[in-house]
């Protein structure tokens, strides 16, 4: 997974679509991948991160939660968590 993320980021893309980039990673590797994605976001890249985990990706994130193919929640993570 880490290699796939690194390959995607090599060309400094404007948008990054990441489907489960942190699944099956140990906590240290998970944090490293999330830190890298945050860094790209801070440098102007848009990030779309799909995950089954309730993770804290930062305060600048818009959250959307889907259930049964429908958007169940959108907005501030504090309202849902």
Q: What's the pLDDT tens digit per position in 24-80?
A: 889 998 888 888 888 888 888 888 888 877 776 665 667 777 888 888 888 776 665
In the chain, % helix, strand, coil (3-state, to 5) comes to: 35, 25, 40
Residue 79 has a pLDDT of 60
Of the two residues 14 and 75, the one the predictor is more confident about is 14
Across 14-24, average pLDDT: 86
Residue 46 has a pLDDT of 87
**The dihedral of CA 44, 50, 34, 76: what is its sign?**
positive
Q: Residue 81, Cα to own-chain centre: how many angstroms?
A: 17
Residue 28 has a pLDDT of 92
How many domains does the chain contain in total?
1
Enclosing domain of residue 14: 2-80
CB 64 within 8 A of CB 73: yes
Of the two residues 58 and 23, the one the predictor is more confident about is 23
How crowded is residue 37: how many other Cβ atoms within 10 Å of its Cβ? Answer: 22
């Amino acid at each position: 997974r880490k290699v796939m993320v690194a390959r995607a980021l090599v060309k400094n893309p404007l948008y990054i679509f990441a489907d489960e980039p942190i699944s099956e990673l140990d906590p240290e590797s998970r944090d490293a991948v999330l830190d890298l994605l945050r860094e790209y976001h801070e440098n102007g890249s848009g990030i779309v991160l799909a995950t089954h985990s309730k993770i804290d990706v930062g305060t600048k994130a818009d959250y959307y939660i889907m259930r049964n193919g429908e958007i169940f929640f959108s907005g501030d993570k504090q309202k849902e968590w």
